[in-house]
């Protein structure tokens, strides 16, 4: 917090202190010892590099979990496989298990025993085994004379070979990822568990406190957490979900610190950030500002308004659409904020300054000129050509593919017509039908036909009005001619006749699958025409332009690293394990505004608004506040709820552990801040912050609000390095 300096002996230099800068970099843990360790020690890290990342010994990496291939991160917090992640990461699992009778979204849920833990509907937990640098092996197969398509094909071949070798004879899975825009390659080997169960979550009035209003904002007071548990076979190896499975025994579980945080404390975040584009050029940024971002926001805004109207009218529909709505809303607001901050933070100008520096450096040497002289011009030309298709690409993803659950299912099934027509292999057909039944069950479980119909009508209308006529598939001309442009009538007819309109019709079709039925189904006809029209008429041109952009970016990044040999470069996020480090720090985002580094339960009470579902406060939580019944989790009559730090995170880091210098858990990261929403493209070192829920607030909510102290008893709690019990 801000400290007032009263001594007349203060040195003049202290009056000239610069604002604390955020700590840029999403670092591969493989290279922590070489690139980061000395700096981390100076900032307060007490661990050795081997204690952070080790192949042969237990280390922090063994407690860090990739959920469902990189959708979120979790951490192991007990020797019985208990995981902590964000509420929004477990939201779909909570929603899946909810009903009007057992509304775990509204009421929260805590399993009293392990037998009461619930299935999560497919969440997986992957533990990193090792990282190998395979750059030289891949690059040895590539030549400068290769076209981009030839290069891509060769890389894919090498990736398949290397992944196969890494997993042959094991139960592991592996992935080779590209880094620095195709200049380096690394192999990641994982052990993946598929039996992950829901253990506990607070009511969404706590887990989503502040809702869309507070999303991406500081100060924050959200108890954003969920508890899961990993189950294994009796040999502790991955096993299919079964009642015979037992809690997973981890190589490492994070101990939990009750000491709290204060300004300047060292913080480390380990997790699986999904995607950044820090090396994007000014041309790409300008395209996002002009075309892509506004279109995404406009389409999602329309979907959200339609869904919310129906959700507000029915508890059943609200439960069904809760997860879908939350996912759409999260990145609806993200793209609003990103566009605003790209402008406010002058990112295009900053990118141009770097590009001008690059041009000057290239022009100083004939060899550089030969290698890099045309790079930026080529990228600019490619982005100019891509602008013709940018709007159509967004609408294809958001309005056509993402426009309706029914038509998306029709696309999946419609592509199986050839297989269904082949009666020579009835076993294959039977297996496919079983898979389709399962797929349909997932779709129609959280489906309301009138809502889906209204969303599709809106998406088709917007597509026809805003995408260039010459880029639209023939089905849209049919709507204009046969249906006189009456989209509502067209969609109503589709839903009246299609087997994909509801679960009953779909299952009846699967009872007697028919190629003829699929060929005459209006939903199949619509989505096939719209999607295949895009693939046929636009995709080839887009792929050629994209190849030019990728080649230019690869050379640009290679040139930047050559231009600045003293700089420690880190790669863009790509859903692989990364480590970031920083400290707990306040920030001053704009004139006359100062944000302190922590929030308290008092702020929850101050924000309460019973008329607004986003700011409801459970009666029991208010009573606990009034009575100051904080247990061992409060300090000096206060309960810290959230804190901010200078760590560098992005989507996929949701649920990542915030770890102190002694390797102890102090918080769970769940958001970035509004003033740095451009951070995925350009790191804003003066204002970028990570927002985390304080671990003591999490434990308080589990124990005092949820009455699930038995779960806290699984954890190793430390105060000043000594183990304590929750009732001590």
DSSP 688-711: --EEEEEHHHHHHIIIIIT--HHH
582-616 pLDDT, tens per residue?
999 999 999 999 999 999 999 999 999 999 999 99
Q: Is the pLDDT of residue 476 over 60?
A: yes
Q: Is the pLDDT of residue 184 over 80?
A: yes
Q: What is the mean pLDDT of residues 312-316?
A: 96
77-121 pLDDT, tens per residue?
999 999 999 999 999 999 999 999 999 999 999 999 999 999 999
327-372 pLDDT, tens per residue?
999 999 999 999 999 999 999 999 999 999 999 999 999 999 999 9
Q: Is the pLDDT of residue 13 over 80?
A: no
Cβ atoms of 260 and 541 within 8 Å: the answer is no
Return the pLDDT at 248.
Answer: 98
Instruction: Record the tokens describing residue 546, joined without a space.
Output: 């994209």
Nearest to 607 by CA among 204, 206, 201, 91: 206
Instruction: Please give the positions annotated as active site.
Output: 88, 224, 654
Q: How far apart are the first and last CA of the chain?
A: 30
Return the pLDDT at 661.
Answer: 98
When pLDDT is cut at 50, 70 and 90, the band that residue 72 belongs to is: very high
Nearest to 184 by CA among 130, 137, 149: 137
Instruction: Record the tokens describing residue 670, joined without a space.
Output: 């769940």
When pLDDT is cut at 50, 70 and 90, the band that residue 528 belongs to is: very high
Return the pLDDT at 323.
Answer: 93
195-211 pLDDT, tens per residue?
999 999 999 999 999 99
Average per-residue pLDDT for the chain: 94
9-23, 504-518, 708-722: least confident range = 9-23
Return the pLDDT at 21.
Answer: 67
Return the pLDDT at 20.
Answer: 62
Q: How far apart are CA 413 and CA 524, in angstroms?
A: 8
Q: Is the pLDDT of residue 374 over 50?
A: yes
Q: How far apart are CA 337 and CA 331, in angstroms?
A: 9
Rounded alpha-carbon distances, angstroms, from residue 490 to 413, 448, 523, 565, 664? 21, 19, 11, 61, 59
Nearest to 585 by CA among 666, 673, 653, 646: 646
Q: Taken in order 636, 639, 644, 645, is the CA torsion positive or negative?
A: positive
**Helix or strand or coil: residue 199?**
strand
- Kindly list the structural domains of the chain, giving each domain's residue range(s) and its CATH number in brackets, ordered by start: 29-124+194-277+572-724 (2.40.10.120), 126-193 (no CATH), 282-540 (no CATH)
Nearest to 358 by CA among 345, 347, 372, 371: 372
Return the pLDDT at 10.
Answer: 35
Cβ atoms of 64 and 271 within 8 Å: the answer is yes
Q: Taken in order 266, 268, 274, 278, is the CA torsion positive or negative?
A: positive
Alpha helix stretches (DSSP H) within 175-231: 204-207, 211-214
pTM of the model: 0.94
Q: How far apart are CA 224 and CA 210, in angstroms?
A: 11
619-640 pLDDT, tens per residue?
999 999 999 999 999 999 999 9
Q: What is the mean pLDDT of residues 569-580?
A: 98
Provide, rounded to the nearest whole percent, the portion of the chain with pLDDT above 70. Answer: 97
Return the pLDDT at 15.
Answer: 31
What's the angle, vertex CA 458, arms to CA 490 and CA 71, rounded to 5?
120
């Amino acid at each position: 917090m801000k400290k007032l300096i009263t001594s007349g002996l203060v040195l003049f230099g202290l009056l000239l202190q610069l604002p604390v800068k955020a700590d840029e970099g999403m670092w591969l843990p493989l290279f922590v010892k070489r690139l980061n360790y000395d700096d981390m020690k100076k900032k307060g890290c007490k661990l050795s590099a081997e204690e952070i990342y080790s192949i042969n010994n237990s280390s922090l990496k063994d407690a860090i979990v990739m959920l469902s291939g990189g959708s979120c991160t979790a951490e192991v917090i007990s020797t019985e496989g208990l995981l902590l992640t964000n509420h929004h990461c477990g939201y779909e699992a909570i929603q899946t298990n909810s009903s009007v009778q057992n509304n775990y979204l509204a009421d929260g849920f805590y399993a009293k025993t392990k037998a009461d833990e619930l299935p999560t509907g497919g969440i997986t937990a992957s533990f990193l085994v090792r990282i190998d640098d395979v750059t030289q092996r891949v690059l040895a197969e590539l030549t400068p004379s290769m076209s981009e398509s030839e290069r891509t094909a060769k890389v894919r071949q090498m990736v398949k070979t290397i992944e196969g070798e890494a997993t042959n004879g094991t139960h592991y899975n592996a992935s080779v990822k590209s880094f620095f825009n195709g200049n380096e390659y690394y192999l990641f080997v994982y052990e993946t568990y598929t039996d992950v169960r829901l253990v506990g979550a607070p009511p969404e009035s706590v887990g989503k406190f502040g809702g869309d209003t507070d999303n991406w904002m500081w100060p924050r007071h959200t108890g954003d957490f969920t508890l899961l548990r990993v189950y294994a076979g009796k040999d502790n190896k991955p096993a299919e979900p079964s009642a015979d499975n037992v809690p997973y025994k981890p190589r490492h579980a994070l101990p939990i610190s009750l000491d709290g945080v204060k300004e300047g404390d060292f913080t480390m975040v380990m997790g699986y950030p999904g995607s950044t584009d820090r090396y994007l050029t000014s041309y790409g940024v300008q395209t996002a500002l002009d075309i892509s971002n506004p279109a995404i926001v406009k389409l999602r805004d329309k979907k959200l308004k339609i869904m919310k109207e129906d959700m507000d009218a029915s508890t059943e529909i609200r439960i069904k659409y809760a997860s879908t709505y939350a996912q759409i809303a999260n990145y609806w607001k993200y793209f609003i904020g990103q566009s605003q901050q790209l402008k406010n933070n002058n990112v295009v100008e900053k990118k141009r300054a770097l590009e001008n520096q690059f041009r000057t450096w290239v022009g100083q040497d004939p060899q550089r000129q030969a290698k890099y002289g045309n790079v930026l011009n080529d990228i600019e030309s490619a982005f100019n050509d891509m602008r013709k298709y940018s709007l159509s690409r967004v609408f294809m993803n958001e309005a056509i593919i993402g426009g309706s659950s029914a038509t998306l299912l029709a696309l999946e099934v419609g592509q199986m017509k050839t297989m269904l027509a082949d009666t020579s292999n009835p076993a294959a057909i039977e297996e496919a039908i079983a898979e389709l039944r399962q797929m349909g069950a997932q779709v129609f479980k959280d489906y309301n036909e009138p809502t889906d119909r209204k969303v599709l009508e809106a998406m088709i209308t917007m597509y026809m009005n805003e995408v260039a006529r010459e880029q639209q598939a023939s089905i849209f001309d049919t709507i204009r001619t046969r249906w006189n442009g009456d989209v509502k009538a067209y969609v109503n007819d589709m839903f009246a006749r299609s087997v994909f309109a509801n679960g009953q019709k779909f299952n009846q079709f699967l009872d007697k699958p028919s190629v003829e039925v699929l060929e005459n189904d209006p939903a199949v006809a619509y989505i096939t025409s719209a999607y295949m029209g895009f693939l046929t008429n636009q995709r080839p041109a887009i792929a050629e332009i994209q190849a030019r952009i990728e080649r230019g970016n690869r050379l640009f990044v290679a040139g930047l690293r050559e231009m600045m040999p003293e700089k420690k470069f880190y790669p863009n996020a790509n859903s692989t394990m990364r480590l970031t480090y920083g400290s707990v720090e306040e920030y001053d985002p704009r004139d006359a505004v100062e944000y302190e580094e922590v929030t308290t339960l008092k702020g929850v009470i101050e924000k309460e608004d019973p008329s607004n579902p986003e700011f409801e406060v459970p009666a029991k939580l208010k009573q606990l506040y009034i009575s100051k019944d904080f247990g061992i989790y409060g300090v000096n009559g206060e309960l810290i709820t959230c804190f901010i730090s200078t760590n560098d995170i992005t989507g996929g880091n949701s649920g990542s552990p915030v770890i102190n210098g002694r390797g102890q858990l102090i918080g769970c990261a769940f958001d970035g801040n509004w003033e740095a929403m451009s951070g995925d493209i350009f790191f804003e070192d003066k204002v970028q912050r990570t927002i985390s829920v304080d671990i003591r607030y999490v434990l308080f909510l589990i124990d005092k609000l949820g009455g699930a102290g038995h779960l806290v008893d699984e954890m190793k709690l430390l105060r000043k390095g000594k183990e304590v019990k929750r009732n001590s």
